Amino acid sequence: MDRLRAKLNATILHDKVRPVQSTVYTFKGSISYEGKEDIIDLLCSCIEERARAAVTYRSPSSAEDKTYDIEPLTLVDHGNALYVIVAIPKHNRNIRILAVDRIKKLVKTGEVFEIPDGFDPHAYLTPSFGITVEEPLNVQIRFTAEAAFYIRERVWGQNQSIQECKDGSIILSFSASGIKEIAAWILSWGKGARALEPEALVERVREELAGAAAGYGEG
């Protein structure tokens, strides 16, 4: 994909009236990184130099900023947003993913680090359905005949298989981590999709549907 993008970006189609760009990227729902330029530059520098940094970060589950040391390993572009894979020294160098837009401050500490043995960003992210890395789930989802056409066109997770049903619907099975992201994806198909397994995923979708229905029932 990287080679294809580079090739397409270097190609301009011409007619007698005006040049036509051969590739267009859409950024709906993207995050603005205005004011974060210095932080992004410093992250790139830390990755290149293997330099530790002190980060001030606000996680979605926290009501306040927290400051701690990180070892920036790899930048990730996902869903029109930037993330950085880091090791956390005070937690036995556990690997975490931080959203760049939630970084409030970043300062080099002057210490250097070594890449963790066996670290491979592709292998780390492969089991994830989106950007959340958790214990993988074995998922089963039934799609209507109308939705099945689009589902067959792509690979959605590891160990993927598709069972054809007599009514034209299909049952998609795969393994992936990130139950919240998987549930949101199922919900995006509306009546075209129904979670079958595991029960934790089914219950998560039920709760989201019930909450949405309750919201529309008010006033």
Share of the chain above pLDDT 90, in %: 73
Instruction: Please give the Cα distance from 159 to 156 (Å, whole number).
Output: 9
Domain 137-217 listed as CATH 2.60.40:
no
Other Cβ atoms within 10 Å of 122 Cβ, number: 7
pLDDT digits (tens, 9 = 90+) for 1-37: 566 666 656 554 445 555 555 566 666 677 888 889 9
The CA-to-CA distance between both ends of the chain, in Å, stands at 48
| Residue 174: DSSP 8-state | E
What pLDDT, on the 0 to 100 scale, is given for residue 32? Answer: 84
Alpha-carbon radius of gyration of the chain: 21
pLDDT > 80? residue 70: yes
pLDDT in tens, 28-67: 677 888 889 999 999 999 999 999 999 999 988 888 999 9
Q: Would you kindly state where each structural domain of the chain is located, as residue ranges? A: 37-125, 137-217
The residues with which 107 forms a beta bridge, in sequence order, are 54
Do domains 37-125 and 137-217 share one topology? The answer is no
CATH of range 37-125; options 1.10.10.10, 3.40.630.10, 3.40.50.720, 2.30.30.520:
2.30.30.520
